[in-house]
Amino acid sequence: MSKQKIMVGMSGGIDSSVTAYILQKDGYEVEGVYLKLHNRTDGYHESNLSYIDGVAKFLGIKYHILDLSKKFKKDVYDYFVNSYIDGNTPNPCVKCNKNIKFGAMLDFAKEQGASFLATGHYVKTDGKFFYVADDLSKDQSYFLSQVPKDSIASMMFPLSNYKKEDIIKLGANLDVTYKKITEKNESQEICFVETVYTDIIKKHANIDIEGDVLDQNGNIVGKHKGYAHYTIGKRKGFSVKGAQEPHFVVKLNPKDNTIVVGKKPSLEVNEVVANNLNMFIDNKEFSCSVKLRYRSVSIPCRVKIEDDKAYISLEEPAFGVASGQLAVFYDDQKVIGSAFIKSSK
């Protein structure tokens, strides 16, 4: 009887490398695929591929290199740049998971005859829903919540019950290649940002144009260095005349290059409107908890879906909610849907 084939998305990091090992040990036929998503010239791809090559030799598997740089530029990179220019806060990893990793890479896996696509993400699934991983510090259910519902059945996450430290220990004891991978730096959060996000935006727009800082009544109270340098909730990098206590960015105005600031209470939000819904349940009204940023705590809320928008009433106030970020709905540990934040008050 032939073994079931699984395609493993391999990055050259320890998580995906151990994922390939675990699946092979469990009796699957494993193949790897590396995504070339951009044309970095700093040895980024060469370094990653040298690690993947070592893992492939150790496991005796073949791997593919899939060049998705054009699609990545259109679906992720351009969206990232345009979001900041429009005064929004983007979430490129969410777009990448939806369109690239569990879009184009999943399609490629199926074309190659694989029954499943596996990755080193820390998240649980039962084939119908995503659930929070055991390692809460690494849980990636938030970032996967825009993946289409009908794709979930083709996905596997062998690390869902592991802690990151266990994966590092396991890797360090496997083989010299794996040991080397455990000793290298963790990959950066956004793969195409080598320094700070503003360096990327500067390649496409002049963002270093001084502008006025306004209070909430529209009075000029100081100066800032260009609106794209700021996100909602930021409290540094601008001046406020005579301020005795911290001021925070509460609004960005790209059209006239102004930012509005206020004291901490002015960041308070009780209602959120979100669009671009991706729901895993059919209910149009429900109570749940919502995460409005990846590292934020879940807030109990009531959600009403109408005209392809989610109207979210928070039971406790949130602070510093940014348009462009993702609202992810949870029923205890289960992800029941998500939507991109359009406005808040």
Catalytic positions: 96, 191
User: Amino acid identity, residue 60?
Assistant: G
Could you tell me if 287 and 301 are in contact, meaning their C-beta atoms sit under 8 angstroms apart?
yes
Q: Among candidates 194, 36, 14, which has minimal Cα distance to 104?
A: 36
* DSSP string computed for 249-318: EEEEETTTTEEEEE-GGGGEEEEEEEEEEEESS--SEEEEEEESSTTSPPEEEEEEEETTEEEEEEEEEE
Q: Which residues contact 317 (CB under 8 A, 6 or more apart)?
A: 268, 269, 270
Q: Which residues contact 246 (CB under 8 A, 6 or more apart)?
A: 235, 263, 264
Angle at 232 between CA 230 and CA 235, to 5 degrees: 70
Report the SS3 class of residue 114.
coil
Q: Residue 257: left (phi > 0), alpha (psi -120 to 50), or beta?
A: left
